[in-house]
Amino acid sequence: MLNRFLYGIDQLSRMVGHAFAWCILILTFGTSYEVFMRYVMDNPTSWAFDMSYLMYGALFFMAGAYTLSRNGHVRGDFIYRLWPPRVQAGVELSLYILFFYPGVLALVFAGWSYGAESFRLREVSVNSPIGIPVWQLKLLIPFGAGLLALQGLAEVLRCIACLRDGHWPPRLHDVEELETVIKHQHEAETQQQSAR
């Protein structure tokens, strides 16, 4: 039952993360077009800078929960990985309670009023010569923080399960770092050789 709940939250984070990953493609094509227009045609665009920070901002806000669901946020794990799972879970749980949730919940509440005000004013970029609308990006702040808070709940439940069971509950995986893939291949080869 717990794993189904955790997988459901992980799946939501994955769907949102994958949807907003397309921002990278749009950002790449837009920036490439701007470079071509600026340096080859000597006719720079008036929208490329705004488009780049809107796409990157949207990706940044909405991919946080996905990254957390994959245990991909940066951490100083040169000591952490040597601890037993229960110690890891205890430290993580206390860090979620002391630091993660106060910051994320503040971002949800402050971001909501910030985004709502921007929407009400139909805010445009003051840095843009053509007045690109930015209220859509500011509305993503509370939604991205809300998804991050929801994924944080799943991580807290994982910590509690690890404290109870002595091992971490499984995660959904859709992408592996090359280092991890090589490690798993090496372990499989070692097991095959020792089985012979």
Extract the tokens encoding 32. Answer: 């490439």
φ, ψ of residue 78 to 5 degrees: the values are -70, -25
Residues in the chain: 196
Q: Tell me the pLDDT tens digit for each residue of 67-96.
A: 999 887 777 777 888 899 999 999 999 999
Please tell me the predicted confidence (pLDDT) of residue 9: 92
Angle at 73 between CA 79 and CA 32, to 5 degrees: 135
Q: Tell me the pLDDT tens digit for each residue of 20-41.
A: 999 899 999 999 999 999 999 9
Q: Is the pLDDT of residue 45 over 80?
A: yes
Share of the chain above pLDDT 90, in %: 57
Q: Is the pLDDT of residue 131 over 90?
A: no
Overall average pLDDT of the 61-67 stretch: 91
DSSP 8-state class, residue 123: -
SS3 47: coil
Please tell me the predicted confidence (pLDDT) of residue 176: 65
Model-level pTM? 0.80
d(C-alpha 66, C-alpha 151), whole Å: 8
Compute and round to an integer the Cα radius of gyration of the chain. Answer: 21
φ, ψ of residue 98 to 5 degrees: the values are -80, -35
DSSP 8-state class, residue 41: S
CA 120 to chain CA centroid, Å, is 28
Extract the tokens encoding 67. Answer: 């990254």
What are the CB-based long-range contacts (under 8 Å, 24+) for 90-98? 90/159, 90/163, 92/155, 92/159, 93/156, 93/159, 93/160, 93/163, 96/152, 96/155, 96/156, 96/159, 97/156
Please tell me the predicted confidence (pLDDT) of residue 195: 82
Overall average pLDDT of the 109-126 stretch: 91
Please tell me the predicted confidence (pLDDT) of residue 194: 85
Q: Is the pLDDT of residue 173 over 80?
A: no
Overall average pLDDT of the 182-190 stretch: 85
